[in-house]
């Protein structure tokens, strides 16, 4: 009986594995083509500064305008793009279009604001990244202080020594550095004091539990920790007014989430959130 079960199970796994591998290959091919065919686009989500009620900056988030499947979110393809190395090319494209957009907004006379771009671990391991970023800033005439890179804890933990050096180089250029999804990775407090970070973004999973006591204790602790280390704090995934109010009481600097706005296409974002400089 056990043997039988084993055999069945084996058969089940093989077919599933094959189907899975097949799907991945198909998706990988599609990703390559999507880059050539320019099917990626960016949406923009504002960050609201709680201290002055003003726009604190904006985060660019990638979307895939798939000809058949419609709008596909990054959760469906970023991991695969990382595994296949396509993320380097995709990441370059994202950085270029985000900076092109910011350059256009500045050129149109909108008040300058900081633009955040998500950078995955695989991109940080690309030895051309620094040079590439410098070139993009130069190309679109963007002062480095208006660029923010959002990185995740995992890269930092896996590559402690190299990451300190690389992040210091970004910092020297004047680029703003944030740690994204804080609290979800296998965090260590040690790296927080080693790394030249400006901002800590509290992961949505803690914010969604607010105003629950457990999560409130976590968000309060993160805010105090960040401030004591000289960093500012952004809470991501704020969906309800009561969450925003509590975060404000806890001393959080900036909030981001559907309560403020969903990520928007560039033109809509500009219409709703950008103001001409005086």
Contact positions vs Mg ion (CB under 5 A): 118, 150, 180-181, 204, 236
Is 62 a binder of ligand C2E (CB under 6 A)? Answer: yes
Considering only 10, 12, 13, 258, the residue that binds ligand C2E (CB under 6 A) is 258
- Of residues 204 and 227, the one with the C-beta less far from ligand C2E: 204
Which residue has its beta carbon closest to ligand C2E?
257
Alpha-carbon distances of 38 from 90, 163, 218, 264, rounded to whole Å = 10, 31, 41, 19
Please, which residues have CB within 8 angstroms of residue 186's CB and are 6 or more apart in sequence? 153, 154, 157
Nearer to Mg ion, 30 or 60 (CB): 60
- Beta strands in the chain, from DSSP E residues, in sequence order: 40-49, 55-66, 70-72, 114-118, 147-152, 176-182, 199-202, 232-235, 254-255, 264-265
Of the ranges 67-75, 104-112, 127-135, 187-195, which one interacts with ligand C2E (CB under 6 A)? Answer: 67-75
Taking CB under 6 A as the rule, does residue 78 contact ligand C2E? Answer: yes
- Residue 257 binds to ligand C2E (criterion: CB under 6 A): yes
Handedness of CA 99, 113, 63, 76 (dihedral sign): positive
Residue 45 has phi, psi (to 5 degrees) of -115, 125
Within 13 Å of residue 105, how many CA atoms lie on the same side as its CB?
Answer: 28
Of 91-120, binders to ligand C2E (CB under 6 A) are 91, 94, 118-120
| 121 touching ligand C2E, by CB under 6 A | no
Site of interaction with ligand C2E (CB under 6 A)? 45, 61-62, 73-75, 78, 91, 94, 118-120, 150, 180-181, 204, 236-239, 257-258, 263
């Amino acid at each position: 009986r056990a043997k039988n079960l084993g055999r069945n199970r084996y058969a089940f796994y093989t077919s599933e594995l094959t189907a899975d591998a097949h799907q991945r290959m198909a998706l990988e091919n599609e990703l390559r083509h999507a880059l050539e065919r320019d099917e990626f686009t960016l949406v923009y989500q504002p960050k609201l500064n709680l201290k002055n009620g003003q726009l604190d900056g904006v985060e660019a988030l990638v979307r895939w305008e798939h000809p058949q499947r419609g709008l596909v979110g990054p959760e469906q393809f970023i991991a695969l793009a990382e595994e296949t190395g396509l993320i380097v090319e995709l990441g370059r494209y994202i950085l270029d279009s985000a900076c092109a957009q910011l350059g256009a907004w500045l050129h149109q006379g909108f008040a300058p604001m900081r633009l955040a771009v998500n950078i995955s671990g695989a991109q940080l391991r690309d030895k051309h990244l620094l040079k590439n970023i410098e070139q993009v800033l130069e190309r679109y005439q963007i002062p480095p202080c208006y660029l923010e890179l959002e990185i995740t804890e995992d890269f930092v933990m896996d590559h402690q020594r190299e990451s300190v050096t690389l992040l210091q180089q970004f910092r020297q250029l004047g680029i703003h550095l944030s740690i994204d999804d804080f609290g979800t990775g296998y965090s260590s407090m040690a790296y927080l004091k080693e790394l030249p970070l400006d901002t800590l973004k509290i992961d949505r999973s803690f914010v969604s539990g607010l105003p629950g006591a457990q999560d409130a204790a976590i968000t309060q602790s993160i805010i105090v920790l960040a401030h004591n280390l000289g960093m500012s704090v952004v809470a991501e995934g704020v969906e309800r007014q009561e969450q925003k109010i509590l975060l404000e009481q806890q001393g959080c600097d900036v909030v981001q989430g559907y309560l403020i706005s969903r990520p928007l296409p560039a033109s809509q974002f500009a219409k709703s959130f950008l103001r001409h400089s005086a």
